[in-house]
Structure 1
Amino acid sequence: MKFKIVYDNNKDIIRVRAGRAAFTTSEGYGLSQLLSQKKGIKTVKVSSTNGSIHIKYSGNKNRVFKYLANLKKSDLYEAEPTTEELSRETNNHYINKILKKIVGRYAAQLFLPTPLNIIKIVYESIPYIVKGIDSLIHMRIDVDLLDATSLAVTLSQGMFGPAGSIVFLLGLSEILEEYTIEKTKHSLENSLMLNINKVWIETETNEEVQIPFTQLKEKDKVIVRTGTIIPADGVIIKGNAEINEATMTGESLPVSKNVGKAVFAGTIVENGSITVEVEAINESTRINQIIDLIESSDKLKAGIQSKAEKLADSIVPWNFAITLLTYIITGSTIKAIAALTVDYSCAIKLATPISIISAMREASEREVVVKGGRYLEAYATADTIIFDKTGTLTKSCPEVAKVVSLGALSDEELLRQAACIEEHFPHSVATAIVNKAKELGLNHGEELHSEVEYIVAHGIATTLDGKRAVLGSQHFVLEDENVKITKEKEDIISENVDKYSVIYFAIDRVLEGIICIYDPPRDEAKVVLNKLRSLGIKDIVMLTGDSENAAATTAKLLGINHYRSQVLPEDKASIVEEIKEKGKKVIMVGDGINDSPALSAADVSVAMKDSSDLAREVADITLLRPSLNDLITIRLLSQQMLDLIHRNYKLILLLNTTFMALGLSGVISPSATSVLHNGSTMLIGLDSATSKNYEINESEIIDIE
């Protein structure tokens, strides 16, 4: 590739330009991915507009130049943009729109002849006046009516300067609102595309094989089991399942589907197992459907934003009343216009959503995905937090402490068979069992069992050599499956359980053995819990399906006074509802399929990084880093967001009251009041968007690796 060096700081950054025709936009994404894989290259930013390539590197820069020089046209390939690239493009797009708006405004004032400038202002006013007429026809006294009246009156009085200021500010607020929605969309897309890394497919010889998602193609037969996301559009050719299609339809209740029915990428199998013949692998189609759903819903609005909009509309009649009263008392049209052009509602409606999206942006930059502003508000004001234990308060990679055979199988064979069954399910305990078998070299050449059935929060059932085999909790194996246990086996189990979580394994109603799982608390857990208490969380509760011994041990280590053991999924949801009925505002933090009912029931829910697809789908907030420290980050950011909004309310009240008083007293002209009002509104909006409002001291979050 031929290129020209346009910047080199002789340290760690270079920028080269290959020319406009060097690569297309899609090839630019591929080029970025290709270079990012090279040794010594940290980050790559490309622009297809002029063929610019910005590279941050470490080590020898000549090696980087060599990479670029050796690139051939045939090496380029088309690719989809990463989340970071999409976010950067969105930011650049709206920054350019805002700059064009500002430059256009002042260029027109400086260079456009007055008659043409007046025509421009009148033309740009028409859409807002039409909105106001619509409000008037439908008897709504709202901000649209106030804006239209302000424009109509100032234009009719020949006050084109104030009219131009109003139009400019309204246009700017629309751009910022569009930006708010776009950023929210990208956050939602990111949360729904998490961790679709590998899928199970059925081969022509009916074997189950796991492959990378990127290798999935049309006509492949994908196997999707309970709690797993459907990776592509297709048709069910085997099995039946209850499918959560909330991402497509907005309906939270699962839909029953069987052979011949269509299923869609991004939906979740809540219960059952299906084989899907892939018809379309099109991420953009799925994302467009999600976007359509979000655009037609109210999910991205925080309650405080809705309140702000209602407050803004409720102030409008007072603006009209003050304007009319001013005219009656003074008889001055000029003073009345001064009162009309200074309104509180515009600043309130503009600053509040900007404050919310800036907080969401800050969360995103700290690798926390928030699905809407209302959830940040709920998180900031919550007084109770409920944790699932396994994989949330404890490490996301538990280990097998010991395997105890209680029947004919040896310890090694028991573990091998358990791993063969567990490898089909995305759960931290299942992963621990599979990893332990691999560590000991206990591999299986082919599947030992028939179709595997996952019973949410209980365990797994299948058939081994024609006999029913079950693997799971004590409640599931011994009670639900009626597996008999002798006094001798009870004594052996009692001697081994201690502080461990225990997985029971039975074949043909005979208890073959137990697998003891050691799941220590996360290193940062205790510090995080104490910090949350200092930030206003009054009660911390731990829920777990584990034994009393394991639950008590973890609770004692973390200083948790309230916990419940051997809890079923439906019990978790009931406990959340029970606490809410006491007037508490509840945060639920979880990671597993079994946490989903409780996540749905909470006022606001958080899914951990390695959560199941179903948990991420249900959760309102998703952490992208495997650390509880981000729970503190969200609390601080959300509280700072509310502080900023309340500060803006006070500032808007003070400034606009001052401007109106000056205008009514005749100290300043209507043009001046309009400029001061609109200018202060814009400054408050811009200030609300800055990162300085969300500065978090490192000492406030202690990260223990």
Structure 2
Amino acid sequence: MSTLRSWMNNRWTIPAVSGILIIAALVILQVSPIDTVGNIVMVAAAVVAGTRIVINAVRALRAKVIGIDLLVSVAAIGAIIIGQYWEAAAVTFLFAIGHALEAATLNKTRSALAELVAVAPDVAIVMRDGEQMEVSAGAVIMGETVLVKNGAKVPVDGEVIGGTGTLDEASITGESMPVEKMIGDRVFAGTVSRSGFLQVSATGVGADTTLARIIHRVEDAQDAKAKTQVFMDRFSSWYTPAIMVLALVVGLLTTDIVLALTLLVIGCPGALVISIPVSIVAGIGRAAKDGILIKGGEFLETSAKITAVAVDKTGTLTMGRPRVTDVVVLDKSMTREQVLTWAGRAEAGSEHPLARAILDAAVGEGLSVTGLPESIEPVPGKGIVVNTSGRRVLIGNLALLAQYGIEDTAAAARVADELAESGRTPMIVAIDDAVVGVVGVADEVRPDAAQMVTNLHAAGVKRVIMLTGDAPLVANAIASITGVGEVRASLLPEEKLNIVTQLQAEGYVVAMVGDGVNDAPALATANIGVAMGAAGSAVAVETADIALMGDNLLKLPEAISLARRTVNNMRQNIAIALITVTLLLLGVLLGGVTMSIGMLVHEASVLIVIINAMRLLRSHGRYTVGTSTISPPTEEHHEYTTALQHR
């Protein structure tokens, strides 16, 4: 019974049965002196293939939609009424087989989503009451310890609390190279252990894992409509009724019912309707496979038009893991350790990216920075002011000191300039009304940053601009290493927004790349907001127009290139569909194209459109320079990182 039900639900069952009946009818018509039996079998073939088409047409009419199914239904029923049984059977059979082929090939275009679903883990091994237990992945409790053995899938998002190993994170980040994991590192559900043994504390289970969010996002994105698709939907909403009116008029003027019915079949805008969504599904699926999440068709289409890219410095062009390189003492009554201690106590309540570097340096030297300040006042774009241990501590730039009336800043300004010129971020420390020192912090430039800038220009981006709140000298030092041509430094969040708005006013389509926190206003205002390293960040996955799941900067130009290929593919499909319909209509009106031939060509054009879109699923490769995807670090970059390592 289950086998029969499975066979009945198979997409090829109806075309197969209809095809067998057509062959039987043709044989009967050849051997039988009476055509009645053969005609009955031919009508049966048309009924088998056409019943579902008629049902779909009726459902569409109830929803006030005049679609392709209605055109085919009217043509087939009309052909039977006037005795054109072969035409009715051929049209419905070809339409049914075309529908089955479309479904099969459309499923192929969604292969990336299917692969993501396939890597979702089913079971997990957890520690309960001191014993290993195998449970379903969705039954893991937050905070439980999950064991990941060699060759097993990671069933949850979590943090490594014991053991070491390597994981294949291709399903999340698109990167094929295994990643080393040790205590404190994050792991993601759906990744695969290639070696070692890990104990993981679950921080995300079931629908709260990064993999689940990616699947949900890709699912939504593949169904989201681009602006061009919305236009095509509107076009087809009046095009289809127009074809029906044309067929009616031609039928009345020529009294040729066959010609009128043929026009109905030929005018089906099937390839036109499917031309855009199939490209969008394939393009977004390819991107997801490469670790690039694009929110939907509209954003894919906009990404193809990007002409200017604004990038944040910290965490984007740099590694985002700054460390203290210098502690310069300016108050002779203090020691280096005291300056670093006061700086650490002040930054204990700060959310600034550089605060962690100062705290880590102080703790690493065994200094006492425990506890929180009595009061904390962040000053956007300038620094932070705190009260701790009965003293007011300022840590930030010269603008912060000027705001609080600290005047003796000449020495601090000189040291800050020297540090900035060497690519470090200076953080001036003042206690009460006196400057006591300057802490220098540096963030290593990403090795692929310069290649990203080169690839962006190769992808058609005209301007790459660094927007940063850091000092101009530091920003210029990073720009010279990465090849960024324009630098806007010492910016407040609203100033970044203003620059993005200005670029848009000048006619640029702007992508903003940032961390989604300090850059939130600019990210929201830009035509496309891009989140870097979004793996594990629910907010980034859900809110960014494009989320790069790994920390590979080259994914950005790759995304823009893919968007442009997808839009070109859409245009090709539209051209194929329009040319096919135009030629068929001319063929019908001028004579020579029958109903069955027209449907055959029509279905062929639909398949050509789908196959053309499927080309997007192939890996296109990355930009190359010479024989390498990433050019070697420049001499200047080598000197910069070497200097950091030896200080």
In which range does the TM-score fall when normalised by the shorter chain?
0.5 to 0.7
Match of 2:194 in 1: none
C-alpha distance after superposition, 1:605-628 (max 9, x if no partner): 212116987666542111123222
Change in 2 beyond 3 A, CA 1:434/1:667 = farther
Answer yes or no: is 1:284 the counterpart of 2:211.
no
Counterpart residue type for residue 673 of structure 1 = G
Match of 1:101 in 2: 11
Match of 1:594 in 2: 518
Distance 1:597 1:325 in 2: 57
**Counterparts of residues 161-560 of structure 1 (less than 5 Å):** 161-166=90-95, 169=98, 216=142, 284=207, 300-343=224-267, 345-407=269-331, 410-416=335-341, 418-419=343-344, 422=347, 428-437=353-362, 440-442=364-366, 446-449=370-373, 458-460=382-384, 462-475=386-399, 477-479=400-402, 485-499=408-422, 500-508=424-432, 510-560=434-484
Distance 2:228 2:213 in 1: 27
What 5-or-longer segments of structure 1 have no aligned partner? 1-95, 191-213, 219-230, 233-279
Match of 1:130 in 2: 58
Decide which moves more: 99-108 or 167-176. Answer: 167-176
Q: Secondary structure at the match of 1:157?
A: helix
Match of 1:207 in 2: none
Q: Is the 8 A contact 1:427 1:592 kept in 2?
A: no
Match of 1:572 in 2: 496
Change in 2 beyond 3 A, CA 1:488/1:655 = closer
Superposition deviation, residue 641 in structure 1: 0.7
Change in 2 beyond 3 A, CA 1:394/1:652 = same
**Counterparts of residues 521-670 of structure 1 (less than 5 Å):** 521-591=445-515, 593-609=517-533, 618-670=543-595
Q: Secondary structure at the match of 1:651?
A: helix
**Counterparts of residues 34-73 of structure 1 (less than 5 Å):** none
Distance 1:609 1:647 in 2: 34
Change in 2 beyond 3 A, CA 1:301/1:483 = farther
Change in 2 beyond 3 A, CA 1:151/1:444 = farther
Superposition deviation, residue 371 in structure 1: 1.2
C-alpha distance after superposition, 1:455-479 (max 9, x if no partner): 665545554224454544544x325
C-alpha distance after superposition, 1:430-476 (max 9, x if no partner): 443344445x443658435457676665545554224454544544x
Q: Secondary structure at the match of 1:546?
A: coil
Counterpart residue type for residue 12 of structure 2 = I
Superposition deviation, residue 414 in structure 1: 3.8
Match of 1:63 in 2: none
C-alpha distance after superposition, 1:527-552 (max 9, x if no partner): 33233223322222221111121122
Counterpart residue type for residue 627 of structure 1 = N
Counterpart residue type for residue 498 of structure 1 = E
Distance 1:395 1:622 in 2: 17
Q: Secondary structure at the match of 1:381?
A: coil
Match of 1:150 in 2: 72
Q: Is the 8 A contact 1:456 1:593 kept in 2?
A: no
Distance 1:483 1:152 in 2: 86
Distance 1:289 1:364 in 2: 12
Distance 1:662 1:540 in 2: 52
Answer yes or no: is 1:689 the counterpart of 2:614.
yes
Distance 2:409 2:213 in 1: 56
Distance 1:516 1:174 in 2: 61
Change in 2 beyond 3 A, CA 1:342/1:445 = same
Superposition deviation, residue 341 in structure 1: 1.2
Counterpart residue type for residue 625 of structure 1 = G
Match of 2:195 in 1: none
Match of 2:20 in 1: 110
Superposition deviation, residue 580 in structure 1: 0.8
Report the TM-score, using the length of structure 1 for normalisation.
Answer: 0.63
Superposition deviation, residue 586 in structure 1: 0.9
Between Structure 1 and Structure 2, whose CA radius of gyration is higher?
2
C-alpha distance after superposition, 1:342-368 (max 9, x if no partner): 236321221211111211111112111
Q: Is the 8 A contact 1:398 1:520 kept in 2?
A: yes
Distance 1:176 1:482 in 2: 70
Distance 1:404 1:97 in 2: 79
Change in 2 beyond 3 A, CA 1:617/1:654 = closer
Superposition deviation, residue 657 in structure 1: 2.7
Counterpart residue type for residue 69 of structure 2 = D
Distance 1:297 1:361 in 2: 9
Q: Is the 8 A contact 1:173 1:350 kept in 2?
A: no
Decide which moves more: 644-653 or 323-332. Answer: 323-332
The percent of aligned pairs where both chains have the same amino acid is: 23
Superposition deviation, residue 518 in structure 1: 2.3
Q: Secondary structure at the match of 2:624?
A: helix
Distance 1:601 1:430 in 2: 28
Superposition deviation, residue 413 in structure 1: 4.3
Distance 1:479 1:127 in 2: 77
Distance 1:397 1:133 in 2: 60
Q: Secondary structure at the match of 1:382?
A: coil
Change in 2 beyond 3 A, CA 1:369/1:148 = same
Q: Is the 8 A contact 1:344 1:652 kept in 2?
A: no
Counterpart residue type for residue 128 of structure 1 = N
What 5-or-longer segments of structure 2 have no aligned partner? 1-5, 25-40, 81-87, 120-139, 145-156, 159-202, 633-647
Distance 1:369 1:182 in 2: 15
Change in 2 beyond 3 A, CA 1:617/1:544 = farther
Match of 1:55 in 2: none
C-alpha distance after superposition, 1:103-129 (max 9, x if no partner): 553255438996876555454235432
C-alpha distance after superposition, 1:207-247 (max 9, x if no partner): xxxxxxx98559xxxxxxxxxxxx99xxxxxxxxxxxxxxx
Change in 2 beyond 3 A, CA 1:491/1:446 = closer
Q: Is the 8 A contact 2:222 2:284 kept in 1?
A: no
Counterpart residue type for residue 147 of structure 1 = D
Match of 2:163 in 1: none
Distance 1:442 1:342 in 2: 82
| CA-based RMSD | 4.4
Distance 2:386 2:415 in 1: 26
Q: Secondary structure at the match of 1:363?
A: helix
Counterpart residue type for residue 655 of structure 1 = T
Superposition deviation, residue 681 in structure 1: 0.6
Distance 1:102 1:414 in 2: 77
Distance 1:98 1:604 in 2: 46
Change in 2 beyond 3 A, CA 1:493/1:585 = closer
Q: Is the 8 A contact 1:595 1:615 kept in 2?
A: no
C-alpha distance after superposition, 1:46-95 (max 9, x if no partner): xxxxxxxxxxxxxxxxxxxxxxxxxxxxxxxxxxxxxxxxxxxxxxxxxx
Q: Is the 8 A contact 1:570 1:597 kept in 2?
A: yes
Decide which moves more: 630-639 or 692-701. Answer: 692-701
Higher RCO, Cα 8 Å, sep 6+: 2
Q: Is the 8 A contact 2:116 2:215 kept in 1?
A: no
